[in-house]
């Protein structure tokens, strides 16, 4: 069975060996960089021959595409659960989204590193599809922010798209600083980051404090 080298489709449970291949590729790409990494290094990390590895892949780019797809699938799964959850306000959905994505980032630092730092190696339709899936993700989160504004939980005079961008900057960059803060428990790190993001969207500046336009 080959590693799925497409970016679209519903999230699925990958066979154990297929996940091992992706994890090994993510470790090698994260450590060496996609450009310098070789298929042989991935095979060595798995303890198998190159010919055995080619049973699962068509080439090195297939590994990169599958890593990006795996991250997209995971985050889209989180969004689906957040949007479909019953009895939650828009702000509560945002809280659940931020907390869940940060928890996922904590557990998948290497996958997120490859996703954010190596995707520009893709060209053509594959790169276009990555961007399309990102735009869909951005749209759903921006809609949640607008819904929270409509409920009065977030100031309506703030631009929802800009708030979404600020949220993404913090959440998406968490893979950079999570590995350097192992002395702090995971739950405390994710809770602190989530509260910082959400208070930034909800909070008000003290009287007399102004931000230059």
Domain ranges of the chain: 61-202
CA 162 to chain centre: 19
Task: Write a three-state SS string for the chain.
Answer: CCCCCCCCCCCCCCCHHHHHHHHHHHHHHHHHCCCCCCHHHHHHHHCCCHHHHCCCCCCHHHHHHHHHHHHHHHHHHHHHHHHHCCCCCHHHHHHHHHHHHHHHHHHCHHHHHHHHHHHHHCCHHHHHHHHHHHHHHHHHHHHHHHHHHHCCCCCCCCCHHHHHHHHHHHHHCHHHHHHHCCCCCHHHHHHHHHHHHHHHHHCCCCCCCCCCC
CA 89 to chain centre: 23
pLDDT at 144: 95
132-156 pLDDT, tens digit each: 999 999 999 999 999 999 999 998 8
pLDDT at 9: 45
Among 86, 90, 31, 20, smallest CA distance to 55 is for 20
Q: How far apart are CA 125 and CA 108, in angstroms?
A: 26
CB atoms within 10 A of CB 7: 21
What is the pTM for the complete model shown? 0.83
Averaged pLDDT for residues 191-198: 84
The CATH homologous superfamily of the domain defined by 61-202: Tetracycline Repressor, domain 2 (1.10.357.10)
pLDDT at 11: 45
pLDDT at 176: 83
pLDDT at 1: 37
């Amino acid at each position: 069975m080959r590693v799925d080298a497409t970016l679209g489709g519903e999230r699925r449970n990958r066979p154990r060996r297929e996940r091992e291949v992706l994890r090994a590729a993510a470790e090698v790409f994260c450590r060496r960089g996609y450009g310098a990494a070789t298929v042989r290094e991935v095979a060595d990390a798995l303890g198998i021959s190159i010919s055995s590895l080619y049973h699962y892949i068509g080439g090195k780019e297939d590994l990169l595409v599958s890593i990006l797809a795996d991250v997209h699938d995971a985050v889209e799964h989180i969004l689906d659960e957040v949007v479909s959850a019953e009895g939650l306000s828009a702000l509560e959905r945002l809280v659940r989204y931020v907390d869940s994505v940060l928890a996922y980032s904590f557990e998948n630092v290497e996958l997120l590193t490859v996703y954010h730092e190596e995707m520009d190696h893709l060209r053509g339709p594959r790169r276009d599809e990555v961007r399309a899936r990102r735009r869909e993700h951005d749209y759903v989160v921006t809609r949640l922010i607008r819904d929270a504004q409509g409920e009065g939980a977030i100031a309506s005079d703030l631009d929802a798209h800009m708030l979404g961008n600020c949220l993404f900057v913090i959440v998406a960059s968490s893979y950079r600083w999570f590995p350097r803060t192992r002395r702090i428990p995971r739950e405390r790190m994710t809770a602190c980051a989530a509260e910082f993001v959400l208070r930034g969207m909800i909070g008000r500046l003290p009287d007399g404090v102004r931000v230059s336009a």
